[in-house]
Structure 1
């Protein structure tokens, strides 16, 4: 995937510099997305001592400590949202517990030693991932002292938020292509999740995410894209690539003016 592409240097030009730009194809309702949220996935394990459910005093239940942690996450999320406000393209930062695990129903008479919570954290510009990790670890350290449990903090994935300069060549090329292919002024948006573009952006490549389809449909059982939107997007990508490489589009099917922007050259 994209991690291998970057690791092997396929995003680099022959002189070793990063490519000038990349179009990230995602369902974004043909809006030009210059921002995307960051994503952090974390698994936190609380460990106590196993015991029979009839004799909980013989062990140490990790679940109350986990429950306190979840409540503190809600408070931390509120602090982030109050401090940062609502980003105009991305909305709020979110800290969402998505998985809870502590034994299974056939073992409901066992107080298990381990309890796990997995978090899906979405960040916006202004959030320092390093500081957020440090804050979460500080909460866990305090809970270890207060509850007597031990904890393990595992970072499964960490992808920074991205922001592309509006005057970059790839943005200008897509703006011009939008006017020609779609016959209207560009509309702008933000990517609610993370994409392959995260890794290209981190590697120094300017990115814009744009593509056909409803942005709320991915990962649903009826995920789909309309054929006409797919064809339109293909035309948009081709037009943007042509302009980005230095060839203006002089004719349009919508009688719009030709593209006059001067994008960066590859």
Structure 2
């Protein structure tokens, strides 16, 4: 049941402002383009100026690596209570071939109740929700306890160096819970898949395409690896089954290159090297160290069967499976807010990939609930979009969740003990 105070808080939502802010963020190209030096810097400048203008305070800007920065802002009520963090990332993936888009990827165009553009749901919409949640809490002057903290970071789409630096700088030390506004259709995602990233390199011997027997063909041997890893994926799916929230484990070859980058492509030359990138997603039944060993054993077996086989696998990223229980205070607060705003029971789910919340949960033990706006299977696709009604719903849910969590008021009038520090 929504109280009079909560109704007053919700009245500070300006739907047009929410739409306009989301469009403004989409229109800033924050694809990482090393060839021209483009980073998230434009979005960081915009958000810094927005916070200074709309909230009347200056956020902390910290450089993680040259040209890539984190934004940190703490709003302290001055009263003992928990610290609730709102997390989001400023980078987006490439738009790819623009000719495949029906809408300008950086236009923020609106059609039939949807806002289109690269990052529309992943996650410029989520950033807008985070920013306007803090604004409404401040401008409405509702009484709350504890602190709100914005953590808007760089580099989520690659190696998540932004959130790791944020943690190293101590900004998560006093955080009691986090809302991660990644696109999940406002479902309450209480677990996240783990991830291993790897590069496979196959060495052979260059030869004339008309005389392949004078060389060693790396493409054939890479194909054997792909088929062998695919078979291993099938055995893991059979062994683990389908997780309630995370589905099946997977091993995906995302990039396959022969010859590798930097070498010229020549039709009549058999290259001496091939390489491939692997995106491995794991569920709770799997152990990352064991997977490393098993994949290496596959390569060892292929080498035993072929004296000319030479391949190495290098693991370049490791993100664990993380989860939490439904009775965590932040989950209960969000569940009640979801029901009061939508009139429906909350839907619990899991994130099919990793998020910055993975590191917050794994390294600091912070309950990190992923429940932002946007279709959960739309990120990284052409004509990415977010539905305006769902975006508006998300902001309402975030506001109620925030007020109830900070003040210790949970679902159906149940009150938790304050998190006084």
Q: TM-score, normalised by structure 2?
A: 0.57
Residue 153 of structure 1 and its aligned partner are, at CA, apart by 1.3
Q: What secondary structure is seen at the aligned counterpart in 2 of 1:190?
A: strand
Which residue number in structure 2 is paired with residue 16 of structure 1? none
1:155-203 deviation line (CA, Å, top 9, x unaligned): 2322112211222121111112222222322111111111111111112
Which residue number in structure 2 is paired with residue 161 of structure 1? 321
Match runs of 1:1-266 below 5 Å:
1-13=162-174, 19-103=175-259, 106-147=265-306, 148-203=308-363, 204-248=365-409, 258-262=412-416, 265=419
Residue 105 of structure 1 and its aligned partner are, at CA, apart by 8.6
* CA contact 2:333–2:409 (8 Å) conserved in 1: no
Unaligned runs of 5+ in 1: 14-18, 250-256
* CA contact 1:23–1:209 (8 Å) conserved in 2: yes
Which residue number in structure 2 is paired with residue 253 of structure 1? none
Q: What secondary structure is seen at the aligned counterpart in 1 of 2:407?
A: coil
Residue 261 of structure 1 and its aligned partner are, at CA, apart by 4.6
Which residue number in structure 1 is paired with residue 89 of structure 2? none
Q: What's the Cα RMSD here?
A: 2.0
Q: What secondary structure is seen at the aligned counterpart in 2 of 1:107?
A: coil
* CA contact 1:180–1:258 (8 Å) conserved in 2: no
Quickly say closer, same or farther: Cα 1:264–1:124, change in 2 above 3 A.
farther
Residue 106 of structure 1 and its aligned partner are, at CA, apart by 4.4
CA distance in 2, matches of 1:30, 1:119: 30
* CA contact 2:408–2:416 (8 Å) conserved in 1: no
CA distance in 2, matches of 1:264, 1:8: 27
CA distance in 2, matches of 1:79, 1:192: 20
* CA contact 1:244–1:265 (8 Å) conserved in 2: no
Paired residues in the alignment total: 254
CA distance in 1, matches of 2:240, 2:412: 40
Residue 113 of structure 1 and its aligned partner are, at CA, apart by 0.9
CA distance in 1, matches of 2:331, 2:277: 36
CA distance in 2, matches of 1:264, 1:132: 42
Unaligned runs of 5+ in 2: 1-161
1:105-126 deviation line (CA, Å, top 9, x unaligned): 9412111110112111111111
Quickly say closer, same or farther: Cα 1:213–1:263, change in 2 above 3 A.
farther
Quickly say closer, same or farther: Cα 1:74–1:2, change in 2 above 3 A.
same
CA distance in 1, matches of 2:386, 2:178: 22
Q: What secondary structure is seen at the aligned counterpart in 2 of 1:142?
A: helix
Q: What secondary structure is seen at the aligned counterpart in 1 of 2:311?
A: strand
Which residue number in structure 2 is paired with residue 252 of structure 1? none
Q: What secondary structure is seen at the aligned counterpart in 2 of 1:156?
A: strand
1:17-42 deviation line (CA, Å, top 9, x unaligned): xx221111111111101112112221
CA distance in 2, matches of 1:234, 1:172: 17
Quickly say closer, same or farther: Cα 1:139–1:248, change in 2 above 3 A.
same
* CA contact 1:99–1:119 (8 Å) conserved in 2: yes
Quickly say closer, same or farther: Cα 1:161–1:264, change in 2 above 3 A.
farther
Q: What secondary structure is seen at the aligned counterpart in 2 of 1:236?
A: helix
CA distance in 2, matches of 1:123, 1:195: 14
